[in-house]
Amino acid sequence: MVVRPEIVVDLAAIRHNVRVLSAHVGGAAMMTVVKADGYGHGLVEVGRAAREAGAAWLGTATIDEALALRAAGDVGRILCWLHLPGDRFAEALSSGIDLTAYSLAELAIIERAAAGIPAARVQLKVDTGLSRGGAPLGEWRSLVDAAVSAEVRGSLKITGIFSHFACSDEPSHPANDVQEDAFRSALEVAESAGLRPEVRHLANSAAAIHRPSAGFDLVRCGIATYGLDPAPLGFEAHSVCTSTNEAPPMVELRAKGGSKPIPDLKPAMTVRAPLALIKQIPAGAGVSYGHTWLASQPTTLGLVPVGYADGIPRHASDRAEVAVDGVRRPVRGRICMDQFVVDLDGDDVALGAGVVLFGPGDQGEPTAQDWARTCGTISYEIVTRIGGRFNRRYVDQGEQA
Ligand SMILES: *Cc1c(COP(=O)(O)O)cnc(C)c1O
């Protein structure tokens, strides 16, 4: 019987996923991305499991996350890529963390912070078309030249060059080819200027799985590490570009050189809660705020004691399903801040019965991907936002690889 609302994370599933992804990418090294508290699964615990499964690198967004890994005893290579003015640059560099420079200004700040720190490591990020972080192609050569000068002065070591895809979850999207070509050109610029980065990397989970040509020296796997499908739409036609309303270009649906089977990933997170109340309602009763659902016949409702304050999306109101003692039950009415209601359809269910909101999907329960589809979002958002009053607990189901 479930006692408290809990998020159960299976560390064996994490290790399994790291291993099958590593085997899939062959020669490229593995960076397990553990930003955002390990996508809601636990920064330190996932980092440790990933190292046990052979991840040479851990990736974080912020310096704070990287330093938290060091504080927990991680001694391996760590890259972080999203810095703020006034960040703890010197502390990160002296802790052996690889920082990322997007611009001349950022490189200069990092070089100043590196004064007196031997082997201060920096990677350069080039924007090949995401138009988010990274140096625009027009500024790439000047960033490379400044990095070469810093290496010559002996103040920094440029350990990596990387970029990030915009559309890798749509493997046949033409932007993927354009970005990979731009990345190769950026590497040529860097190499002809004299940089010899230890790692060149472009692929996130979707590209690591579907685009072998983008493997380079290292792949950065986040969502697939947690057992979730990074490209749930597969090779379907691309989403329409809403800002211009242009029709998406028609392209042939194909896996880019992908001949290997897709890795067999195991979702690592199960989210459960006990039923806090069971009661009958008459025909015609309205359920939850706004009475968006009306009982057409008498039924039994179960009260689940978690809500949007705990990361259950309010968009799941009247739409999602859960498993109660292994049986699928629909959510009725709106998800509230602390609770929501499921329809037990007159069945005899015990108080305290286990409600599984989502999990691996092998016991009849929905998956995080099912919730994402129901809510019009991606599984990343479902798992990273779960938290609030849930307790997180770790299990280790033993090696299933
Ligand atoms: C989050 C992130 C990743 C991991 O992406 P997934 O799609 O979860 O594999 C990789 N690289 C960068 C730069 C990121 O920000």
DSSP secondary structure of 132-156 = SSSEEHHHHHHHHHHHHHHHHHTS-
Q: What is the pLDDT of residue 164?
A: 98
Residue owning the nearest CA to atom 15 of ligand 1: 61
Classify the C-alpha dihedral 37-41-44-50 as positive or negative. Answer: negative
**Helices 137-153, 104-113: crossing angle, 10 deg rounding:** 20
Q: Is the pLDDT of residue 231 over 70?
A: yes
Q: Is the pLDDT of residue 330 over 60?
A: yes
Beta strands in 168-311 (DSSP E): 199-201, 218-221, 269-274, 277-281, 286-287, 293-294, 299-304
Centre of ligand 1 from the C-alpha of residue 288, in Å: 38
Ligand 1 atom closest to Cα of residue 33:
4
Nearest Cα neighbor of 123 from 217, 18, 24, 221 is 217
pLDDT over 70 for what percent of the chain? 93
In the predicted model, what is the mean pLDDT of residues 221-227? Answer: 98
Q: What is the pLDDT of residue 261?
A: 81
Centre of ligand 1 from the C-alpha of residue 265, in Å: 17
Verify whether residue 35 is a known catalytic residue: yes
Rounded to 10 degrees, what is the CA torsion of 69, 71, 72, 75? Answer: 70
- The set of residues, in sequence order, having a beta carbon less than 8 Å from that of 144 and lying 6+ positions away, is 124, 189, 190, 193, 195
Q: Which residue has the higher pLDDT, 151 or 234?
A: 151
Q: Is 53 helix (H, G, I), strand (E, B) or coil?
A: coil
Q: What is the pLDDT of residue 81?
A: 98
In the predicted model, what is the mean pLDDT of residues 138-145? Answer: 98
Centre of ligand 1 from the C-alpha of residue 221, in Å: 6
pLDDT, the chain, mean = 93
Residue owning the nearest CA to atom 13 of ligand 1: 164
Q: What is the pLDDT of residue 189?
A: 98
Verify whether residue 289 is a known catalytic residue: yes
Q: Which two tokens stand for residue 62?
A: 């912020």
Lowest mean pLDDT, pick from 18-27, 231-240, 243-252: 243-252
Q: What is the pLDDT of residue 1?
A: 58
Q: How far apart are CA 223 and CA 227, in angstroms?
A: 7
Which amino acid appears at position 269 of this protein? Answer: M
Q: What is the pLDDT of residue 198?
A: 98
Q: What is the pLDDT of residue 252?
A: 35
Ligand 1 atom closest to Cα of residue 125:
13
Centre of ligand 1 from the C-alpha of residue 378, in Å: 14
Q: What is the pLDDT of residue 234?
A: 77
Q: What angle do CA 218, 223, 229 make, to 5 degrees?
A: 110
**Beta strands 321-324 and 354-358, pairing class:** antiparallel
Q: What is the pLDDT of residue 236?
A: 58
Nearest Cα neighbor of 167 from 216, 82, 226, 240 is 240
Ligand 1 is surrounded, with C-beta below 6 A, by: 33, 35, 81, 164, 204-206, 220-224, 230
Q: Which two tokens stand for residue 323?
A: 């498993």
Catalytic residue selected from 157, 256, 279, 289: 289
What does DSSP assign to residue 343? E
Rounded to 10 degrees, what is the CA torsion of 348, 299, 324, 45? Answer: -140
Q: Is the pLDDT of residue 250 over 70?
A: no
Lowest mean pLDDT, pick from 46-60, 126-140, 249-263: 249-263
Nearest Cα neighbor of 34 from 8, 12, 14 is 14
State the pLDDT confidence band at 249, using cuts at 50, 70 and 90. Answer: very low
Q: How far apart are CA 101 and CA 128, in angstroms?
A: 15
In the predicted model, what is the mean pLDDT of residues 216-222? Answer: 98
Residue owning the nearest CA to atom 1 of ligand 1: 222
Q: What is the pLDDT of residue 105?
A: 97
Among 125, 162, 164, residue to substitute to test ligand 1 (most atoms within 8 Å of Cβ): 164
Q: Which two tokens stand for residue 36?
A: 């955002």
Rounded to 10 degrees, what is the CA torsion of 36, 266, 20, 14? Answer: 40
* Max Cα-Cα span within the chain: 79
In the predicted model, what is the mean pLDDT of residues 56-84? Answer: 98
Among 18, 30, 32, 33, residue to substitute to test ligand 1 (most atoms within 8 Å of Cβ): 33
Q: What is the pLDDT of residues 256-292, one digit of tens each?
A: 455 578 899 999 999 999 999 999 999 999 999 999 9
Centre of ligand 1 from the C-alpha of residue 220, in Å: 6
In the predicted model, what is the mean pLDDT of residues 290-301? Answer: 98
Q: What is the pLDDT of residues 186-210, one digit of tens each?
A: 999 999 999 999 999 999 999 999 9
Q: What is the pLDDT of residue 248?
A: 41
In the predicted model, what is the mean pLDDT of residues 10-29? Answer: 97
Which amino acid appears at position 284 of this protein? Answer: G
Q: Is the pLDDT of residue 93 over 90?
A: yes
Q: Is 193 helix (H, G, I), strand (E, B) or coil?
A: coil
Q: Is the pLDDT of residue 243 over 60?
A: no
Centre of ligand 1 from the C-alpha of residue 290, in Å: 39
Count other C-beta atoms under 10 Å from residue 113's C-beta: 20
Q: Which two tokens stand for residue 256?
A: 């880019």
